Amino acid sequence: MEDTLTLAEAIDDLVSAEDFLDYFEVPYDPAVVQVNRLHILQRFHDYLARQAPNLPPEEGAQRGIYRLWLERAYLDFVHSDSLTEKVFAVFQNVPQPGGGMSSFVSLDKVFR
């Protein structure tokens, strides 16, 4: 069956990490996704955000790039874990001047 949706339309219909991985035909271990689904999607988003200015205009090429970055985001969590990867700001500890660490996240960063 031929996909008649544009890439943007297809992505709008995807709701879970499994949906994205299935759509882009990235093989995955459900146990890895179960534990890291939000981290995988955030990492995928971060990779794409950095690549956005360099994306080719052709949708077929864009699909290939999306698949590549989704697979890389997934593999990041196959070979590591969420505490090591520190995808979300809450995991990014910062040394405090008086000693100790803080993972404080200001509201302006939360609502970006």
Contact between residue 102 and residue 93 where contact means Cβ atoms under 8 Å apart = yes
Q: What is the pLDDT of residues 2-12, one digit of tens each?
A: 468 899 999 99
- pTM for the whole structure: 0.71
Question: Which three-class secondary structure state does DSSP give residue 103?
Answer: coil
Average pLDDT over residues 49-76: 92
73-106 confidence digits (pLDDT tens): 999 988 866 655 556 454 444 555 766 544 444 4
pLDDT, position 111? 43
The answer to whether the CB of 106 falls within 8 A of the CB of 64 is no
